[in-house]
Amino acid sequence: MTSAIDYSFSRPAPAAIKAAGCAGVVRYTSGTSKGIDHAEALALRNQGLWIGLVHEGSAGDAKLGFSRGKADAAADRTYLDTIGCPRTAAVFYACDTFSTVDQVRPYFQGVRGVALRPVGWYGGLGVGLQLHAEGLVDYIWAANATSWSGLADFAELETAAHAHGIAMLQHLDHPFTSIPSNAYDYDEVITPFPAWGFNPQGAPVVAPHLNITLAHPIVGYLEVAGKGAWLATSDGGVLTLAGNFYGTPVGKAYWAGHAAANIVVNPVVANRPNHPYVIVSTDGHTYGLAGF
């Protein structure tokens, strides 16, 4: 999870982002012209890129108080559920200008009260550290504007960010030469955080659109070319979304190479249109669209 880029209105091709050596991207939650939608998320995840999320309407919205924080978090909750984002993924709420903790505290109290996903801060480092100490945010992404953090230069900011082990630091340079430098900012991941498609504990990410709590560890998904996405149990059995048992893959050409031993957990499968899917836990429990 070591490197990412964030971008707004310009949208580098997911294949180009992957080819440049990025592990993930950070995208806006808002359903405006700069916000991520389901199609973009699917294209990014199909390239194996994780997706970090940031909310920013206008630069200083985080100074607008408790009610605005509640409203923004509620809108994110609805919109991200709609486009299939798992509720394990953190959302960073941005103050893209200088601020004090007193100016933004009420907003984050509002966010914290209604958010169903982990909450992050984007802005000055010092404010983020104070919000974290107060329990109002779980993760900190420091902006590259050193003055917002009260530091003399970027070297001081970088040293402080690493010393505190924050989630991400936005850099001033643009190291990925295959992507136009005016199309992105480069972000260094210092301490891994939960994103769409990444879990820092290494646990499988809950499939988009399920919105259920799984009581049993996931074994994985199984997708077969031309057959859609199917369930593979830990003993090699195969099931459909309706729960019909199709036996083991052994001796059946269309299951060749898809025994349970080589299942790869892949949340992208769940997003593909017109493909039935289920997932399977280590003890055989199955979950589908209705959570059966």
Do 93 and 234 lie in one domain? The reply is no
Mean pLDDT, rounded, for 144-156: 92
On whether both 8 and 92 belong to a single domain, the answer is: yes
Residues 77 and 164 reside in one and the same domain = yes
Please give the pLDDT value at position 155. 93
Instruction: Spell out the residues 6+ positions from residue 40 whose beta carbon is closer than 8 angstroms to its own.
Output: 11, 27
Mean pLDDT of 193-213: 55
Question: Same structural domain for residues 184 and 224?
Answer: no
pLDDT at 33: 80
* pLDDT surpassing 80 at residue 286: no
Let me know if residue 230 belongs to a domain: yes
Do both 175 and 76 map to the same domain? yes
**96 belongs to a structural domain:** yes
Distance CA 42, CA 27 (A): 13
Q: Mean of the pLDDT values across residues 39-44? A: 90
How far is Cα 123 from Cα 99, in angstroms, rounded to an integer?
8
| 245-280 residue pLDDT tens | 333 333 333 333 333 333 333 333 333 333 333 444
Q: Is residue 208 part of a domain?
A: no
Give dist(CA 143, CA 170) in Å, integer. Answer: 5
d(C-alpha 102, C-alpha 100), whole Å: 5
CATH number at 167 reads 3.20.20.80
Q: How many domains does the chain have?
A: 2
Asked if 162 and 228 sit in the same domain, the reply is no
Q: What pTM value is reported for the model?
A: 0.69
Model pLDDT for residues 139-149, shown as the tens digit of each residue: 999 999 999 99
Q: How far does the chain reach from its first CA to its final CA, in angstroms?
A: 33
Most confident option among 99-103, 151-155, 227-231, 247-251: 99-103
Res. 125: pLDDT tops 60: yes
List, for residues 158-187, the tens digit of each pLDDT value: 999 999 999 999 999 999 988 999 999 999
Structure confidence at residue 208 (pLDDT) = 32
Lowest-pLDDT range of 2-6, 52-56, 114-118, 247-251: 247-251
What's the chain's average pLDDT? Answer: 75
How many residues make up the chain in this entry? 292
Name every residue whose Cβ is closer than 8 Å to that of residue 187 and which is 6 or more positions away in sequence.
3, 4, 5, 6, 26, 52, 141, 168, 169, 170, 171
Question: Would you place residue 9 in the very low, low, confident or very high pLDDT band (cuts 50, 70, 90)?
Answer: confident
What range does the domain containing 270 cover? 218-287
The percent of residues in the chain predicted with pLDDT above 90, rounded, is 53
Say if 9 falls within a structural domain: yes
Per-residue confidence at 197, pLDDT binned at 50, 70, 90?
confident
Note whether 117 and 231 are same-domain residues: no
Co-location of 44 and 173 in the same domain: yes
Higher-pLDDT residue of 264, 75: 75
Other beta carbons within 10 angstroms of residue 112's beta carbon come to: 19
